[in-house]
Amino acid sequence: MIWHDSVNLRGWVTKLGGVFVAAVLCLLPWTGTAEAHGSVVDPASRNYGCWLRWGSDFQNPAMAQEDPMCWQAWQADPNAMWNWNGLYRNESAGDFPAVIPDGQLCSGGRTEGGRYDALDTVGAWQTTDVTDDFTVRLEDQASHGADYFRVYVSEQGFDPATRPLTWDVLELATETGSYGPSQVYEIPVSTAGYSGRHVVYTIWQASHMDQTYFLCSDVNFG
């Protein structure tokens, strides 16, 4: 009887321990992505870049001085970085300026309840160095495929560090055909005449439904 009771006691301790661990996990902040979708990872989109640089150290006050645009984005809504792959709109029907006003291009027109609004904030976002010929690399964790990609570059003379991004300053650099389902897409881009800071704006029209991703990458043409 003593052995039997001790076994039961150990069982109850194990169960209670499991309940305790589950309760603790429920109290921890969510640090993963809610759904698997995708984003431009090179040149890094604004929120992907912030996640890449600071995801493991996002409470470090040094970010405010070293990377102030990411700092304000983390303060506004950390989920914009944890969900770096969820910046999309459904059912735009291809008429993007009608659903995304000027000044809201980097947040996809304040999509997802405003989660990504801070990505529209004007300022000196960290840049990725590119040459005239570069490749946009996009990760698609859900293998949605693409009806097409459009890659724009902000016009020469437009300074995204001092002015909000608008449709009329975007110059189409390339438009692709369809891509089959994959987890990585590479879009070659050839340009000429650009120098200094620009925004590369990628529109990804997914194939599985009318779902469109709007992705701002800050670059420096060397």
What does the alpha-carbon distance between residue 75 and residue 78 come to, in Å, rounded to a whole number? 7
Q: Give residue 81's identity as a one-letter amino acid code.
A: M
Query: Mean pLDDT per 10-residue run, the chain (222 residues)?
Result: 41 40 36 65 98 97 98 98 96 94 98 97 98 97 94 98 98 97 96 98 94 98 93
What does the alpha-carbon distance between residue 27 and residue 99 come to, in Å, rounded to a whole number? 37
pLDDT of residue 35: 55
pLDDT of residue 19: 37
Of residues 146, 148, 139, 199, the one with CA closest to residue 175: 148
What does the alpha-carbon distance between residue 42 and residue 25 come to, in Å, rounded to a whole number? 33
- Nearest-Å Rg of the Cα atoms of the chain is 22
Say if CB 21 and CB 118 are below 8 A apart. Answer: no
Phi, psi of 136 (to 5 degrees): -85, 120
